[in-house]
Amino acid sequence: MRVLAIVHQRDAGPGVFAEAIRGAGGALEEWTLAERPQPPADPCGYDAVFVLGGAMNADEGERHGWIAEEEALLRELLEAGVPLLGLCLGGQLLAAAAGATVRRAARPEIGWHPVEVTPEGGDDPLLGPLAPSFEAFQWHSFEFPLPPGAVPLARSEVCLQGCRLGERAWALQFHPEVSRADALHWIDDFEADPDAVRCGVDPAVLGPKTGEKIAGFNRL
């Protein structure tokens, strides 16, 4: 299988997903869209595409001109039936491409938070095995509401955590892909995120906690 990963920043790459894809004999190509306007090949020609997170917000189109272009591409991929997975910012952009209006969440979710699988999610081929609940690593202050016609799969106290768009596309708010190295880097660099500062992230607590939990989360 040929898989395309759309990357928004270098410290938020495909993480353990890259290991899983290559370990299964797949070919993974990465496209850092903000740095290289042209993809390595036609995105519609891949067997699957996944879209990663980033420090930018989905409403910052004026600052990041590629956001509107990416939404248009994701809309094209949805219509073409290409298997898609959007993660955090990528999930928000995928939901926006499907008609949702991304918005600031009631409060940020940073660190480890419980997620409940919905009754519909229990039958989902992707999230069903995680029912009835699991703990997920999160780093976001925006959220996506349920797009028209989508199926809600998982929720936290704060927001929708996952939905399915048709039969081949999923938008997730948490970070299933994050590697130990990237997660610990985000925590060490938390002061670069004003929302992380405002909500009182303590790297002396979150760092060791993440070090203990991340291997099990990656296996999950």
Active site residues: 88, 175, 177
Structure tokens at 133: 């609940």
Residue 97 DSSP SS3: helix
The phi and psi torsions of 192 (rounded to 5 degrees) equal: -75, -15
The phi and psi torsions of 44 (rounded to 5 degrees) equal: -70, -10
219: left (phi > 0), else alpha (psi -120 to 50), else beta? alpha
89 and 6 Cβ atoms separated by less than 8 Å: no
The helices-and-strands tally (H runs, E runs) of the chain is 6, 9
